[in-house]
Each structure stands twice: as C-alpha cells, then as structure tokens.
A and B are shown apart, each in its own frame.
Chain A
C-alpha cells in the first residue's frame, strides 16, 4: 500500500534521472544544432529551458537543477558564438546565459517544491488511511483477537519481515501474537532493550518522550496507554532501512494499536459486569420464585393438617376428605417443584449424566401421550394424537430424560390449550436427526417471547394460568442440548408448536446416514425387525449389536 525507499534507493533514482536528462539534452542539441541559423538563439534557449522545467516537474529539484546547468552549458558550447568553446564573445550573450540559468533554477525549484508538497499530502492521506483502517479492524473484535490482527497489519502494510506483540504482564514480557518470519521469542539483548521501554524505569530515566529502541535489524515500539507501557511491538526489518516518515507512522500505529487494545479490554470488563449483573438478576429471580412456589403448597398443607387436628370442630366427612385431598395434591406439587429444581441445578451445574441406550422413540411418545391423557380427568380432556408417518429408526438417548422432555411439553400443551381441544405429537425423521413437534390449539407464544420461554423462571406475560414454576422449558432445553439436539418454538398459525431434535448419531459417536430402505425395510412390517435367528450364536446377532437399524425383516411364522 505504501512504500518509501531508503536513501540508497533515492541516490540510485537521481542517478538514472540525471542520466535520462543528459540523454534528453543531447537529443535536443542534436536536433536543434543543424537548424541553429533558422531558429535563432532565442528559440533554442527556450527549448532547452523547457527541457529543464520538464525535468524538474517530473523528478524534483535535483534532476531539474542538473538539467538547467547542463542545458546552459550545452547552449553555451553548441549555440553561442564562438562555437565549441565555453567562452562568450558578446556581453549580451553573457547576460542571456546568466538569465537562462537563473530562470531554469527558479522554475525547477518551484516545481520541485510543489511536487514534494503533493507527494507529502498523498503520503499523509495514506498514513491516515492506515490508522483509520487499523481502528476499523480492531473496533468490534474481542480482546483476544486484536494482537494477532495488529501483527498481521504491520507485516502486510510495512516493509518489515516479522512483527511480534508482547504484553507487559507485571514487568514480564509475554509474546501474545506473532506474524511473519521467525518466532516470537525475545533474545537477551532484545529483552534488555524492550525492558528499557516497557519496564518501570522507562519513563523515569529516559523521560516520557522516549519512543523507540533500535537494535541491528530490529525496531522496538512501546505500546503506551495513558502514559503506561502495556506492551511492546517488535519489528524485524527487511534488508532496507525504514524511511524517517515511516518510522513516525509506525509510532503512530503503535499508539493506535495500544489504544485499540485498551478499548477492547475496557469493553471486555464492561461485558463481564453485565454478565455478573445478569447472573445476579437470575439468582434473585430464582430466590423470589422458589420461595413463593415452595411456600404456597406448604401453607396449604400446614393449614389442612392443623384443621384436621383441631379438637374444637367436628369436621364432616366431606370436609375431612377435602383437607386430605389438599394435602396430597399440594405434596405432589411440592414434589414436582423439588424434582424440577434439582434437575435444573444439575443441568446448570453441567452435572447431567446421560444414560444413553438404543431406544424406541415411538414407544416413548405413545406412553408419554397415554400418561398425559390419564393424568387428565373428565370428558373435556384433550385428545393427544401421536403422528408418526413411518417406522422410526432406533435412536440413542437417555429414555428417562427424553421422557421428561416430552412429558413437560405435553403438560404445557394440556395446561394452556382450551379443554377438549386436540394436542398432537408429530415426528419427522430427517437425514441427520429426528424432529419431534408438540402442537396445541392454545393461545400460542408471541414471537417476541419465543427466545425467552426457555430461560429459567420465565412464565410469559399471561400469568393467569396457575401452577408451573417456569422451569419446565429450561429443563427441556438442558436435556435436549445435552443430547446434541436443539429445541425451539415454531411459527404456527394457531396455538403453540414446540419442536426438539434428536440427532441420529449421538454425541461422541461417528455419524452415519442410514439409507431409507434400511430404516424402513418394509412398508407394513415393524421397524428394523430382527428375524428370530438372532439368538445366541446366530450370525445376525453381531449386526444387531453394531447397528440395530440395518437388520432386514424376516418374520417367520412358526
């Protein structure tokens, strides 16, 4: 993007520019020499003047001045009588030569100045671009990624072979990022020089203005934030030296990099603070929710028991039955709450142990649906339909935990949907997973709440529905995630639809896609039937062991 050669390059450039000017002057002289008498001295002088002006405009003041002197000498030698000598006959010609030289020199100097100004303006724009781009690149990155980004930028945009960023960790320099050739290690000399920059004595002994340290082939730039050295940027230089302007740019770059690091560190701290605050908020939500939910059934139990014990009232049989019923119902509620709390804490603590085994999802769903129906009483109970298009493959999952998920989802559906409305459990087997959707005809879940319903203690805006503690879906998510699946609320025209997936290849095991005909071997036969030869010693037994889906059916009638 930006390249500014060193002094060696500049001399080389002047040399060939002067050579080119010499050649151009020789060419002009060669062309004009035969036409000397027709043109007149004035025109020849102007042509040569034009040459020196062009040279100054194109290449700067050194080639410009050189061309002025050279063309002046050539004019004197080849055109001003006496020819082929540097002496001058007429006093008027002396004046003309002097004026020629002065005009050429002044023009060359002016043009060169303008050219330099334009170049510098371009350079400044380029530098600003570099700093702005660095700023842009580092703005939204996490703190960890910034050192590497800085090193990559330096290596790409400056003529350096390698760049390493060291962090000042309580006086010790730790390499945190490296780009380019070689390694990020510091040798003893470099360390001493770097410590001079980053160490505590750096500002005291050498004053705050000390910017860089040089070693042969190396440049060490301090990374300074608010007067404090937070690290060092070490550049291993190419064979050619850095230009003065480039070193200044690198220093500015280092400042910008330090500021970027500082900014990212601040952002990280702020983020952690927000996280802590969030955890705190959740914890107090837990406390208030749990204490309320625990107290309610306890109060009911206590009241009922105390009433039953009271000697001053002779309770009717109906009243006694009501008290006893309340005790039992509330105890059940308490049990559910405690179980959920324990499950949730187990999930949150990452202590969920999966008891994975090959299981029949079909059976699980039908039993859960059956239980959910049984749990309801009365003629207005929901009809729960299990829709499975075709036989499902066996899946490896924890039967008890997935049963919890399905039961929780069904409980929710039954709780929120109007009495008597249908609830469905639909299963779709896909290549990589199986999707289970529980759908009801209830009020549904507004799109804005869909993200939050899986958070612990979230109970939705409508709190008119009794019971529930807001754990159910959080537990579902914990269990499904532990199985490597996901759970989400589907878009649904009416009612709520919660879908979760179970991967066909369980976590930690190689993934295999089973061909459809292996999963569903025959349209009317049960899934993956094993022929009766699968007894000890029979050959199919081994196949069953490795993959229970790939067994082809053979139903021998006895």
Chain B
C-alpha cells in the first residue's frame, strides 16, 4: 500500500514533524494540517486515502472535522485521543471514524491501523464475501454455517447476526451503539447490556479460551473489535 496519501491532523508541530518523517520513510505520501480548518481545506484540495486525526484541538475539534469529512467522502479516518477520553472516541467512531488510537501510541500500532484502514477502503467499508475464514474459524454466509476447525458451531440467530456484523467489520473498533443498531435495531442503541450477555456467549462458542479472547476483543469503554488472525 505504499504511495498511499495520508493526511495527518494535529495541533502539535512536533507530532506532525515526527509522523511526516516516520510515515514518509515508509513510502507514504504525507500531508499535514495543524488545525481542523486546514484539514478541511486539505481534503478539499486533494482527497487523501486515509486521515489520522487528533480529536482535541483548539478551534474546530477533531469531531467536527470527522463529521464534515464524512458528509463528503468515505475516506477512512483514524482518530487519536488520550486515555480517559473514551467518550470522545465513541463520539468519533459514531460520527463515522473508522478506528482510534490512544495517545501516546506506538509507531507499529499506527502503521498497522493505517494498513487495515486502507484495506477497508478497498473492500468498500464492509466485507461482503460469501465465505470468510481466519485462524481456525470458517464462515459461510450464504449457507449461514460456521465451523471451528472441523467442528460445526451452532449459533442462535442473534449470535449469528452479531458475529456476521463483527466479521464484516473485522479489525475495526465498533462502538456498542453501532453494533446494537446494526444487530438489534436503532431503538436498541443504548441497551449495551445486550452485548454483555451475547458477546460472552459468542466467545464461549468461538474462542479456544473464552477468558482470553483472540477473536472478539473488548475495547474498554468503547466497544468491541473482531481481530483477524495473522495466518492459521
């Protein structure tokens, strides 16, 4: 995915300089913006392939930038926010951000998230493949059947819908609200206790060790993320 255009938005010149160097060295085409207004102008000029966006900025906040960019384009957005600002993360994801990173973050982590975001952009936002497999799991969405290794798993209809939604957005942080709206319906967006019941249930069926989940990870205070396994 080298050569992809990354727009980095942060009000800290030091962060901009470091990210420009680090991403540029890895072959990305990096543009920077020091404020929300600059970011919108940069998007207007030339649509990037992915945006790395700081949530807390003076002037126009990252959330506002997120909302305005989403009105025009489906470009993947990765938001950066500090620990303890889970509300901001959830708000950004609900506004259409694709992922988040907690500051301070490791470079490897950021690179991995950028790769996933770019892949999703190619997929068109969600996987629609009829067959999906990762690790020992294999799902056939056309037949509504799921296997772990050779063993076929039996899921209730809701468990199945939940898993399908998670898998279709694999490797992305999904807020409780997003999952509830998609699986249960818009009016259930606040009923996060549904997930507290169903996710452990699903883990008990999918995970080799439900206490140490490998597939369905909890994003504390935010939601869940289905993690695809590197190679089986």
Contact = CB atoms under 8 A, between A and B. Distances in A.
A402 to B, nearest CB: 10
Secondary structure call for the A interface: mixed
A367 B218 contact: yes
Contacts of A355: 86-87, 221
Contacts of B154: 557-558
B200 A359 contact: no
Nearest to B204: A526
B197 to A, nearest CB: 5
Given A386-B211, A400-B86, A536 B196 contact: no
Interface string B192-232: 11101111110010000001110000101100000000000
A362 B201 CA distance: 13
Contacts of B192: 357-358
A394 B194 CA distance: 11
Contact of A335 (B104, B184, B220, B221): B104
A370 B185 CA distance: 33
Contacts of A403: 220-221
Contacts, number: 80
Contact of B156 (A342, A359, A363, A558): A558
Given A400-B221, A535-B158, A535-B184, A339 B211 contact: no
Contacts of B187: 536
A358 B104 contact: no
B82 to A, nearest CB: 8
A535 B183 CA distance: 9
Contact of B201 (A335, A357, A529, A558): A529
Given A335-B104, A400-B84, A532-B156, A358 B196 contact: yes
Contacts of B197: 526, 528-530, 548
B59 interface: no
Contacts of A558: 154-157
B217 to A, nearest CB: 9
Nearest to A353: B87
B83 interface: yes
B191 A545 contact: yes
A331 B204 contact: no
Nearest to A367: B218
Contacts of B196: 358-360, 363, 394, 548
B188 interface: yes
B188 A536 contact: yes
A394 B156 CA distance: 22
Q: Bin chain A's interface residue count.
A: 35 or more
Contacts of B201: 526, 529
A360 B218 CA distance: 11
A535 B185 CA distance: 9
Interface string B137-162: 00000000000000000111111000
Interface in A499-558: 526, 528-530, 532, 534-536, 541, 544-545, 548, 555-558
Given A386-B211, A536-B185, A544-B193, A526 B156 contact: no
A342 to B, nearest CB: 7
A336 B204 CA distance: 33
A366 interface: yes
Contact of A394 (B185, B193, B198): B193
A399 interface: yes
Contacts of B199: 363
B218 A544 contact: no
Contacts of B84: 339, 342-343, 400
A353 to B, nearest CB: 9
- B154, B157, B159, B197 interface centre (most CB from chain A within 10 Å): B197
Interface in B83-103: 83-84, 86-87
Given A370-B211, A370-B212, A558-B154, 14 more contacts: A332-B104, A339-B84, A358-B192, A360-B200, A394-B193, A399-B221, A400-B220, A526-B197, A528-B197, A530-B194, A532-B158, A534-B194, A536-B184, A558-B157
Interface of B: 83-84, 86-87, 104, 154-159, 184-185, 187-188, 191-194, 196-201, 204, 211-213, 218, 220-221
Query: Which 4 residue pairs of A and B lie closest in terms of their CB atoms, listed nearest first?
Result: A400-B221, A358-B193, A532-B156, A366-B211
21 contacts: A332-B104, A335-B104, A358-B196, A363-B196, A367-B218, A367-B220, A399-B221, A400-B86, A403-B221, A529-B197, A530-B194, A530-B197, A530-B198, A532-B156, A536-B187, A541-B188, A544-B191, A548-B193, A557-B154, A558-B155, A558-B157
